[in-house]
Structure 1
Amino acid sequence: MVSTEPKPSGGVGGAARDRHFVTGVLPILVAALLWGSSGTAASFAPEGASALSVGAANMGIGGLVLLAVAGRSVLPVLRGGARTWRTVLAGAVAVAVYPLAFYTSMDLTGIATGTVVTVGSTPVFTKLCEVIGERALPHGRWMGASAVSTVGVALVVVGQRHPDESPHGTGQIVAGVALGLLAGASYAVYSYTAGRLIRQGASSRPVMGVMFGLGGLLLIPVLVVTGGPLFSTRTGLVVAGYLALVPMALAYFLFGRGLTHVTASTAATLILIEPVAAAVLSVAVAGEHLAPLGWAGIVLVGVGLLILDNRK
C-alpha cells in the first residue's frame, strides 16, 4: 500500500525520484536529443549518397563501435542459451531494419514527416510488444502522457515550413509513411528486447553491444554496395563518422543505461522529444521556419514528459 502522507522533498521519496530521473529518464532524454540531430547531419551528406548508405553507416559502423566498447563483457550474453539468443537475434534484425526504413522514409517524405511518423508510432508499437510479451496493459498516466506528447509532435510538424522544398508525390508520401511505421515498429522491437534482457539481469553495455554489433554486421553488406558516394569526399566521411559515433554509439549507450531503470514503453514516450530537437535544429542550422503552432507543440511535448515523469 502506498502511504498518503506527504513526504518532504529532501526525504527518501525525493531522493528516489531524483535518482530515477538521473539514472533513467535523463540518459534517454539526452539520447533522444542526439538522435534529433541525425536528420540535420544527414542533410550535409554528398549529393550522390543514398539514404540506404547513410542509414547503414549510422547503425552499421556505430553498432560495431558499441560491440568493440563492450569487449569481453559480452561473453555472458553470448553464453546465455537458446532463449537469450532468440531475443538477441530478434533485436539485431530490428536494429538492421530500422535505419534503412527510417532514412529512406525521411528521403521520401522530408525530415520532419519521416521523423514524426517513426517516433510518433513508437510508443504504440512498444506498448504492443509489452502487452504481447509481458501481458502488461497500459495505465492511464502513460496513455495521457503519450497522447499529449503525440499531439505536440503533430503540431511541430504542422508548424514547420519548408519553403525551399518541392512537394513530394502522393506515392512517395504513402511509401515514406509506411516505411516510417516500419521504422517505428523496428525501434519498438529492439528497445523491448534489449530492455527485457536487461531486466532479466544482464548489464546494459553487453546487451547493447551484442544486439547492435550483430545488427551492424547485417548492415555492412548494404554499406559496401551503396557507400561509395558517401565515403568519396571528406564531407561524407565527417557525416558518416558523426552519425556512427554520436547519434548512434553514444546515444544508444545512454539509451541502454536508461533502460536499466525505466520500461521500454516509458522510454518510447520519452523519445518523443526527438522530433522536437530535429525541428529546432532545422530552424537554427538549416534556416527553416517554425510557426507559433510548432512552438506550442514543443510546449505540449514537454507537458507530456512531465506527466510521464510524475507517474506513481
Structure 2
Amino acid sequence: MNPHLAVVLAAVCFGSTGTALALGPETATPFSAGLARILVGGGLLAAFAWLTSGRSRTAPTPAVLALTVVGALGVLAYQPTFFLGTEANGVAVGTVVALGSAPVLTGLLEWILTRRPPGVLWVVATVVATSGVAVLSGVFDAGSTIDPVGLLGSLGAGLSYAVYTLAGKALIDRGMSSRSSMGAMFGAAAVLAVPLLAFADTGWMASASGAVTVLWLGIVTTTVAYLLFGAGLRRLRASTVSTLTLAEPLTATMLGLIVLQERLAFTSVVGLVVVAAGIAVLSLGGRRRAVPVAE
C-alpha cells in the first residue's frame, strides 16, 4: 500500500473517535474512553505483534527498551494533556493547538535528533494544513480568553504525539517491523494504564452500547489505525506522517456532518478545503520520495 494513503487511512480511523463517543452511552467520559483505547487497542497491538513476529523474537537491547518506554510514556501522556486543553479552553481551541502543534513539534524534534531539516514541501503542506485546521475548528470565532494552563496542556498533547511518533520511527530504523514497533509501545502503554482505571468511571462499559463503543475505540481507532500508521511511518519521515494525520479533524468534521447531522458554517467548509489541499500537496508531491521497504 502507498505509505501516504496508509497514514491518511489511519487518520480516518482516528477521526471516528468523537463520533463513536457521541453514539455511545451518555455516561462515557473522555478520560475513561481514552483508557479503553489504550488498554484494548494496546493489548491487541502487542498480541498481534507477538503472534506475527515468528522466529524473529530476540531479547531487546537497552536502546530498544529505552525507546519503547519513551514511546509508551508519550502514548499515555497524550490523553490527559489533550483533555486538559479541551476542558480549559474548549474543544475548538484545545483541538487546534494540540493537532496543529504536533506536526511542527515533530518536524523540529526530528530536525534536532537527525540533523536533517524538513523539506520545503513539508513546510508548505504543514502551514497550509495547520491553517485549515485552525479555520475548521472555528478558533478565530471563539472570542474567548485563552487559559495558559490549558494552552500548556494542548501543547503537551502535541509534544506527546511527537515523542511517540519519533520513538516509533527510531524503533523501525533499528530493525523492528512496524507491527512490532507499534505493539511494543502501545503494549507497554496498556500496562502502564492499568493503575489509572482506579480513577476512571468504567460503569458505562458494561452496557451493550458501551461494549460496542469500547471495541470500536480499541480495534478501529487504535489497533487498525496504528498498524496503518506504522506502515506509513516505516517508509516516510516522522514529520511527513505527522502532517498527514491532520486528515483526522477533516474526517471528524465530515462524520459529524453525515452521521450526527451537524451543520457546517461557511468557515468550516473553507477549513475542510484548506486541510485537504495541504494533505494533497504533501501526498502527491512526496509520492516519488517514498522508498519501498520490505517488512
TM bucket by the smaller chain?
0.7 to 0.9
Q: Is the 8 A contact 1:52 1:222 kept in 2?
A: no
Distance 1:118 1:78, change over 3 A: farther
Retained in 2: the 8 A contact 1:159–1:293? Answer: no
Match for 1:43 among 5, 22, 37?
A: 22
Q: 1:245 to 1:160 in 2, by over 3 A?
A: farther
Percent of residue pairs identical: 36
The reply on whether 1:31 has 2:5 as its aligned counterpart is no
SS in 1 for 2:60: coil
Deviations 1:223-275 (A, max 9, x none): 34414333242222221111111111110111011111111100011011111
TM-score normalised by structure 2 residue count: 0.87
The answer as to 2:36 corresponding to 1:62 is no
Alpha-carbon separation, structure 2, partners of 1:235 and 1:169: 36
Instruction: Pick the aligned partner of 1:156 from 132, 136, 141.
Output: 136
Who is 1:14 aligned against? none
How does 1:147-226 map onto structure 2 within 5 Å? 147-158=127-138, 174-226=148-200
Quick one: distance in 1 between partners of 2:133 and 2:277? 12
| Contact kept in structure 1, 2:95 and 2:137, CA below 8 Å | no
Question: Over alpha carbons, which structure has the higher Rg?
Answer: 1
228-237 or 276-285, larger mean C-alpha shift: 228-237
- Cα distance change on mapping 1:132 and 1:160 into 2, 3 Å: closer
Matched to 2:280, the amino acid is: L
Amino acid at match of 2:47: A
- Who is 1:130 aligned against? 110
Listed one character per residue, the Cα deviations across residues 163-199 of structure 1 (whole Å, up to 9, x for unaligned) are xxxx99857x554443222111111110111011112
Q: Does the aligned pair in 1 maintain the 2:72–2:185 contact within 8 Å? A: yes
Alignment correspondent of 2:78? 98
Q: 1:236 to 1:114 in 2, by over 3 A?
A: farther
Report the CA distance between 1:201 and its aligned residue: 1.9
Output the aligned Cα RMSD: 2.5
Task: Write the distance in 2 (CA, Å) between the matches of 1:170 and 1:232.
Answer: 39
Q: Which residue of 2 aligns with 1:252?
A: 226
Q: TM-score, normalised by structure 1?
A: 0.83
Do the aligned partners of 1:70 and 1:205 also contact (CA within 8 Å) in 2? yes
1:261 counterpart = 2:240: no
Q: Does 1:236 align with 2:216?
A: no
CA, structure 1 residues 107+241, in 2 after alignment: closer, same or farther (shift >3 Å)?
farther
Looking at structure 2, the residues matched to 295 and 50 of structure 1 have their Cα atoms a distance apart, in angstroms, of 29
Report the count of equivalent residues.
285
| Structure 1 CA distance for aligned equivalents of residues 50 and 4 of structure 2 | 26
- Tell me the residue number matched to 2:63: 83
- 1:272 aligns to 2:256 (yes or no): no
Which whole-Å CA distance do the structure 2 matches of 1:168 and 1:58 have between them?
33
What does the per-residue CA deviation read over 1:66-119, in whole Å, with 9 as the maximum and x for residues that have no partner?
011112529867623111111111001111111233345445545444332221
List alignment gaps of at least 5 residues for structure 1.
1-21, 162-166
Retained in 2: the 8 A contact 1:74–1:209? no
How far has the Cα of 1:297 moved from its partner?
1.5
Q: Is contact 2:96–2:137 with CA below 8 Å preserved after alignment?
A: yes
Q: Distance in 1 between matches of 2:255 and 2:140?
A: 12
Q: Which amino acid aligns with 2:257?
A: V
The SS at the match of 2:227 is helix
**Quick one: distance in 1 between partners of 2:265 and 2:13?**
23
Contact 1:126 1:189 in 2 (8 A): yes
Contact 2:92 2:139 in 1 (8 A): no
SS of residue paired to 1:255:
helix
> Is the 1:23–1:261 contact (alpha carbons within 8 Å) kept by the matching residues of 2?
no
